[in-house]
């Protein structure tokens, strides 16, 4: 299994933030496997799906007044946030398939990708700290679509299985 990224540890809060201190943040994006079989830019151009790549601009700012950045709290949901609330929501709003005020559920994408990713040595779907692969999250969105935040809210009344992964797994084995 790939090594888990370590959280940035600091005692400060984000500037201007009332959210959890940095010390409770978890950054555990796990490297995707099988990327050698992914479609490349060359494949897309040669198939006619896109035209040759244009020159990249010096900078791009995708921030918009309607955009808000969610708070993952003390969970490992960065993959769900980036894929559902980041990439997918942005493109759906740009394509006018959802309104700007409609949010997608990072929890749906994050938990679904943990259920289907390449790491099957230990069950981790409902462990709040567990990470997953971005490729697995994009597969969930491509195959099943996205759930709305109103259908599966990110903030639930309690964390599923909080705490250290190893402790949770020991407790499950002992039960």
Domain residue ranges in the chain = 23-29+69-174
The CATH number of domain 23-29+69-174, selected from 3.40.50.150, 3.90.70.10, 1.10.1040.10, 1.10.3720.10: 3.90.70.10
pTM recorded for the entire structure: 0.65
Q: What is the pLDDT of residues 67-101, one digit of tens each?
A: 888 888 777 788 899 999 989 999 999 999 999 99
Q: Each residue of 122-151: pLDDT tens digit?
A: 777 677 777 788 899 999 999 999 999 988
CA distance 91 to 86: 9
User: Residues near 106 by Cβ (< 8 Å), separated by ≥ 6?
Assistant: 70, 72, 77, 80, 81, 83, 84, 85, 154
């Amino acid at each position: 299994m790939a090594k888990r990224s370590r959280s940035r540890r600091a005692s400060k809060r984000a500037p201007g933030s009332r959210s959890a201190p940095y010390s409770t943040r978890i950054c555990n994006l796990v490297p995707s496997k099988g990327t050698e079989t992914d479609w490349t830019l060359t494949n897309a151009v040669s198939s006619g799906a896109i035209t040759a790549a244009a020159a990249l601009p010096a900078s791009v700012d995708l921030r918009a007044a309607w955009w808000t950045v969610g708070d993952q709290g003390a969970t490992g949901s960065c993959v769900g946030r980036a894929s559902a609330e980041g990439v997918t929501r942005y493109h759906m709003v740009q394509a006018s398939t959802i309104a700007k005020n409609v949010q997608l559920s990072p929890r749906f994408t994050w938990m679904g990708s943990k259920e289907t990713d390449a790491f099957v040595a230990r069950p981790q779907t409902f462990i709040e700290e567990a990470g997953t692969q971005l490729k697995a999250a994009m597969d969930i969105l491509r195959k099943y679509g996205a759930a709305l935040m109103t259908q599966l809210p990110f903030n639930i009344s309690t964390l599923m299985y909080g705490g250290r992964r190893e402790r949770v797994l020991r407790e499950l084995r002992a039960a």
